[in-house]
Amino acid sequence: MTSHRIVLPLALIEGAHLARLVDDFRDIIRERDSGDPAVRRLTPSAYPDDATAAQSFADSTRDDLLDRRLIEAEKVSAALAPFRADVDSLSEQDALAPQDLVILDDDIDAWLRTLTALRLVIATRLGITSDENDRGDDGRHDVYDWLGYRLEVLIQAADESDERRGD
């Protein structure tokens, strides 16, 4: 039995930057700073109107949720291993050269959840509350948009893979 996989072309520099973002995301999860707004965004309150119930729920589920997020981010990180390069030392042609990003079908949900969670962290850090926020000339918003684009591409590839298999 062969494992199905999705193969997406990705420029070496894009893969390297994504790998760094995922590494940073993993660090945030490992630190588990409950005072960090990004961590709070990753572990939303189930009872926003009841502080006692919310705290009880968070105490019983927060670590498991963050553990799952870390495991999934590690799967994403492992798939990005071929993209780990010192892109600053590469020529522009080499940095922009497409490489195949291989994602096993079994890992697609981990990818989708990790990229979505990473966007939540970035949105929290930048104060993005909707797509209509005035972004001005702040280039950091471009990373948020780029991740959204990559997420869309991944969803389309997963849908096409399902159609080919007849799922």
Residue 45's pLDDT band (cuts 50, 70, 90): confident
Q: What pLDDT sits at residue 132?
A: 65
Instruction: For residue 155, give both structure tokens.
Output: 């969803």
Domain ranges of the chain: 5-165
Rounded to a whole number of angstroms, the CA Rg of the chain reads 18
CA distance 12 to 91: 11
Does the pLDDT of residue 118 top 70, yes or no? yes
pLDDT digits (tens, 9 = 90+) for 3-37: 689 999 999 999 999 999 999 999 999 999 988 99
Q: List Cβ neighbours of 126 (8 Å cut-off, separation of 6 or more).
A: 138, 140, 141, 144
Instruction: For residue 146, give both structure tokens.
Output: 């780029």
CA distance 68 to 96: 33
